[in-house]
Copies of this chain bind each other. A is one copy, B any other.
Amino acid sequence: MGKRKIAIEKLENPNKRQVTFSKRRKGLFKKAADACLLCDAEIAVIAFSPAGKPYTFGHTSVDSVIDRYLTRSSGPVSGGNINIEAEQSRLSREIKDLERELKQQRENNKSRYWWEQIDVEKYDSVDKLQSLIDGLEKLRSNIVLRLPSSFANGEGLGSTGGDNWNDNNNDMNPPLLLTNGVSTVDYVDQAVVDDGVDASVIACSAENMDDDWLSEEDWEQLMRDDIELLPAV
């Protein structure tokens, strides 16, 4: 698939291995996303890089798919053979389910895209929070880069809420731009991620779109391209 054929065996050059992982992870996630949309399927992918860093893709979400997988066929264990190992495994899984359930009691709102359900509660340390912020910043940056030119300067952003990035200081970064797909955007919401960080979630109503605006399909593609940029929680 490249300039020359390679055997599917461990790449011994660490650098090459990392580069290949990076590229193939991107491709893998794209394939998964495409399959989800094309076939109306639910797919989760969890990948640990050679360096041990986790990357995930999930539609509707990683956790929901894992849940569905773990929950499925949870019938009573057959009698008789009480295997310690199996019992431990069962208990452990049960407990983890519980923990996850507890954690997710607040996230009952099942939304279509992962970015609609970022759980700020999970970011319980400065490091984690910074990691999220960095990821979102890079995501924003990448999206802004590909916006129609008129948006690159902040024009046309239908900021109908209290956000006033435009009005203030052009040295500041433009507001964090997230959307759950043009077809459903029609809201402006603002979430204070931290005292010092104003992570506005901004979208504009369909009425504000002109021909420069990206199609829903384009948006989804962009978001998929960028999913990888966000660190797993």
Which label, helix, strand, loop or mixed, suits the secondary structure of the A interface? Answer: helix
- On whether the beta carbons of A75 and B124 are closer than 8 Å, the reply is yes
Q: Report A115-158 CB contacts with B as 1/0, cut-off 8 Å.
A: 00001011011001000000000000000000000000000000
Q: How many residues of A contact B (CB 8 A)?
A: 80
- On whether the beta carbons of B49 and A41 are closer than 8 Å, the reply is yes
Residues of chain B within 8 A (CB-CB) of A18 are 39
- On whether the beta carbons of B31 and A42 are closer than 8 Å, the reply is no
- On whether the beta carbons of B88 and A66 are closer than 8 Å, the reply is no
A172 interface hit (Cβ, 8 Å): no
Q: Which of B50, B103, B232 contacts A39 (CB 8 A)?
A: B50
Q: Which of B10, B99, B232 contacts A91 (CB 8 A)?
A: B99
A35 to B22, CA, bound (A): 10
Q: Report A23-45 CB contacts with B as 1/0, cut-off 8 Å.
A: 01101100111110111111111
Interface, chain A (partner B; CB < 8 A): 6-11, 17-18, 20-21, 24-25, 27-28, 31-35, 37-50, 54, 56, 62, 65-66, 68-70, 72-78, 80-81, 83-89, 91-92, 94-96, 98-103, 105, 119, 121-122, 124-125, 128, 217, 220-221, 232-233
**Residue of B whose beta carbon sits closest to that of A80:** B121
**Residue of B whose beta carbon sits closest to that of A87:** B102
**Residue of B whose beta carbon sits closest to that of A69:** B46
Residues of chain B within 8 A (CB-CB) of A103 are 77, 84
Q: Which of B35, B44, B69 contacts A25 (CB 8 A)?
A: B35
